Amino acid sequence: MKPHPLPHDSLAFALTQSAQVLAWVANGQSLTEALQRLPSATWPAAARGAVQDIAYSTLRQLGLGRALTAQLVAKPPQPLLQGLLVASLVMLIEQRYAPHTLVDQAVQAATNHPKLAGAKSLVNAVLRRFLREQETLLHHARQHEEALWNYPAWWIAEVRRHYPMQWEEILNTGNQRPPLTLRVNRRWGTEPDYLQQLHAAGLDAVALLDGGLRLTQPVPVQQLPGFNDGWVSVQDAGAQQAARWLDVHDGMRVLDACAAPGGKTAHLLELADIDLLALDQDEHRLQRVEENLQRLHLQAQLRAGDAGAPQNWWDGRPFDRILADVPCSAAGIVRRHPDIRWLRRPADVRSLPQQQARILNALWPLLAGDGKLLYATCSIFPQEGESVIQRFLATQADAIRLPAPGQLLPLAHENQDHDGFYYALLQKKR
Ligand SMILES: C[S@@+](CC[C@H](N)C(=O)[O-])C[C@H]1O[C@@H](n2cnc3c(N)ncnc32)[C@H](O)[C@@H]1O
């Protein structure tokens, strides 16, 4: 007999869908793409939220979940079953649901899925055994570094090698839920002005030392006063540093060379009346820049193109300022994208610096004499930051290095809370 479809508001439904998302991520897809692949347009918002929550939480503890399944299942399960088991185990560890409810719903999820129905007894047996023996099983699993830290072993080794004093804090910060940090649109008002608006709406925020307001309790953006009218944007406090360091003034000609989705583009346009070209290789992602600028009532010229091949899009007029927010491993923003650590490979950290140097070298001739270029990544690996800049400076006689934060490590403190970034500011000799 064909099983009834699971109700959208059931935990079994959320477990099934998140198992599918986890299977796609295990197959190399990003979490964002995997979530977009679900036929979720007609689901209630709460169902979408539940799936997202389980998928994100599971990826934050994937090392532990995998080590536990390896102990509990004799041979490696197929990806969908692995997804269901790991998600269920993580939910049991996090005690989000009553244990008997979770086990019952995980078995329901298996029963109702054509590819999992044969495994319903196994799901039942595995989860019940975990509940009986969890102390021993967890102790045993955490003997393995990947299960203890929830990062691949090569990633842990890399962070420990570069940051022998801070590696534990860096890894721990990456496992936390990210804050919701706001950038107040200078054209609308100041941070104290917006704090008042938040208070009037029954919300609260902390003013961060590096700028930005971190909401005490994240809420959907539609609940933020004036969001649709462009009073504020959501942007990490570390990302908010880029536009400030670039030091733009009215009338300047500015290039944002890797612009999408446009967080920093919009910030630059809020700070001064500039003539800005927002370039990105990905035409699809450029639409996000367009949407962001529309909401904020800002204007720029948008163009699809390869920052490393200016001959295809540059009109020959030099820029006073260039932002090169180059593609990178994104190792500094893992608390927002918990899939990144599982998708990256050591080879990426070797090949990305070549791409980054190619873009930097191609953009440098476009900068006017006395002009400034900010090189930025959202990585914590020095191969993508300081090493690229050192090599560039060694060959570029007309480049001067100006003060800038350099490597910003991810922090989650009371009034300093940001992702990991790298910023180097270069000026061209006249
Ligand atoms: C780190 S993201 C930029 C984030 C953006 N600056 C912001 O603050 O919202 C890097 C961007 O570089 C783009 N990109 C990658 N390779 C590129 C290239 N060769 N030329 C131009 N853009 C590129 C990617 O499509 C991606 O949108």
Q: Which numbered atom of ligand 1 lies nearest the CA of 262?
A: 9
Residues with CB under 6 A from ligand 1: 239, 258-264, 279-282, 285, 306-308, 325, 327, 359, 378
Query: Which residues have a Cβ under 8 Å from the Cβ of 179 and sit 6 or more positions away?
Result: 214, 215, 218, 412, 417
Q: What amino acid positions are annotated as catalytic residues?
A: 378
pTM over 0.85, yes/no = yes
Q: Are the beta carbons of 62 and 69 closer than 8 angstroms? A: no
CA of 11 to the centre of ligand 1 (A): 37
Query: Which residues have a Cβ under 8 Å from the Cβ of 396 and sit 6 or more positions away?
Result: 364
Residue nearest to atom 6 of ligand 1 (CA): 259
Residue nearest to atom 15 of ligand 1 (CA): 327
Burial label, 89 (beta-carbon count in 10 A; 0-12, 13-18, 19+): buried
| Tens of each residue's pLDDT in the chain, 430 residues | 566 789 999 999 999 999 999 999 999 999 999 999 999 999 999 999 999 999 999 999 999 999 999 999 999 999 999 999 999 999 999 999 999 999 999 999 999 999 998 999 999 999 999 999 999 999 999 999 999 999 999 999 999 999 999 999 999 999 999 999 999 999 999 999 999 999 999 999 999 999 999 999 999 999 999 999 999 999 999 999 999 999 999 999 999 999 999 999 999 999 999 999 999 999 999 999 999 999 999 999 999 999 999 999 999 999 999 999 999 999 999 999 999 999 999 999 999 999 999 999 999 999 999 999 999 999 999 999 999 999 999 999 999 999 999 999 999 999 999 999 999 999 999 9
Q: Are the beta carbons of 424 and 404 closer than 8 angstroms? A: yes
Choose the residue to mutate in 181, 268, 281, 328 for probing ligand 1, maximizing ligand atoms within 8 Å of C-beta. Answer: 281
Q: What separation, in Å, do the N-terminal and C-terminal C-alpha atoms of the chain show?
A: 79
Three-state DSSP at 9 gives coil
**Per-residue pLDDT, 1:** 56
CA of 199 to the centre of ligand 1 (A): 36
CA of 327 to the centre of ligand 1 (A): 5
- For the chain, give the number of residues: 430
Q: Which of 333, 351, 336, 359 is nearest to 279 (CA)?
A: 359
Burial 112-151 (b: 16+ CB within 10 A, else e): bbeebeebbebbbebbeebeeeeeebbeebeeebbbebbb
Q: Are the beta carbons of 75 and 126 closer than 8 angstroms? A: no
Q: Are the beta carbons of 226 and 245 closer than 8 angstroms? A: no
Residue nearest to atom 10 of ligand 1 (CA): 327
CA of 280 to the centre of ligand 1 (A): 6
CA of 68 to the centre of ligand 1 (A): 38
**Per-residue pLDDT, 193:** 98
Residue nearest to atom 13 of ligand 1 (CA): 258
Which residue do the tokens 């962001």 mark? 292
Q: How far apart are CA 380 and CA 173, in angstroms?
A: 13
Alpha helices in 229-339 (DSSP H): 241-246, 263-271, 283-296
Q: Which numbered atom of ligand 1 lies nearest the CA of 264?
A: 8
CA of 261 to the centre of ligand 1 (A): 8
**Per-residue pLDDT, 4:** 75
Q: Are the beta carbons of 220 and 45 closer than 8 angstroms? A: no
Q: Which numbered atom of ligand 1 lies nearest the CA of 257?
A: 21
Domains of the chain: 11-150 (1.10.940.10), 236-428 (3.40.50.150)
CA of 6 to the centre of ligand 1 (A): 40
* Upper half-sphere CA count for residue 171 (Cβ side, 13 Å): 26
Q: How far apart are CA 47 and CA 7, in angstroms?
A: 10
Q: Which numbered atom of ligand 1 lies nearest the CA of 328?
A: 1
Listing DSSP states for 343-394 in one string gives H--HHHHHHHHHHHHHHHHHHGGGEEEEEEEEEEES---GGGTHHHHHHHHH
Q: Which numbered atom of ligand 1 lies nearest the CA of 378?
A: 1
**Per-residue pLDDT, 266:** 98
